[in-house]
A and B are shown apart, each in its own frame.
Chain A
Amino acid sequence: MIYKVSFVVPGRRDVGGIQNIDREPRPGDRVRIGHQTFEVVEVTELMPPRGDFAYLHATCKPVEER
């Protein structure tokens, strides 16, 4: 399965976006978007799956990097 995922950081329209990934995102996952790391908070289905593709929406929050 290939996951077409929209990553959104509430209040930050300058980051996030849409990309295809191999692994289903889950809450707690860390994702690299642009030059920053974010934690997935919630994942919902945006559209029903078709063929080999799933369509998901992931809400994220910034992670403070040390």
Chain B
Amino acid sequence: MSDKEEFLRRLDLFNGLSDEELSSVAALCSKEHYKAGEIILNIKDPTKNFYLIRSGTVQIITNPEVLEAKPELADAVLVNLGQGQAFGEMGLVDRGARSATVRTASDTVVYAIDCDRFLELCNADTHLGFLVMRNIAADLSFKLRYRNLI
């Protein structure tokens, strides 16, 4: 198993996938590097990719113009996501525009996966598609429960 597949194995998004299915996902991943403070995607942008955090931390920001004007308003940061987390996955599910801006809080490495190509894979392998969509639902549930506690 490759280093990339070993990493994917450790993500709850791919919980339950076989080695062969993980290889199919790995083939769609492209590695991207960002410096601290860079914007990975902007609110209201059209959806193209979803992302997996290989290392580093990103901030999910729902009011980027507020944070820009008054950096002390930390409430504009909805959540910080670290290693092993996914973002942009809502766009994979609903194909809507980006609901938040994502900015790196530290030097960050992500895997980007093209949503169209990933959905083609889900349609071609419905077992994989079912597991990933169920895991995305669980991930969104986790984030809602987290949000209710802060």
Contact = CB atoms under 8 A, between A and B. Distances in A.
B39 interface: no
Contact of B142 (A13, A52, A55): A55
Contact of A13 (B83, B84, B85, B150): B150
Given A20-B84, A47-B145, A52-B15, A14 B74 contact: yes
Contacts of A47: 138, 141-142, 145
B18 interface: no
Given A13-B150, A17-B57, A18-B82, A2 B142 contact: no
Contact of A19 (B16, B75, B83, B150): B83
Secondary structure class of chain A's binding surface, majority of residues: strand
Given A15-B80, A34-B57, A34-B105, A8 B85 contact: no
Interface of A: 2, 4, 6, 8, 12-20, 33-34, 46-47, 50-53, 55, 57
Interface of B: 10-12, 15-16, 57, 74-75, 77, 79-85, 105-106, 138, 141-143, 145-146, 149-150
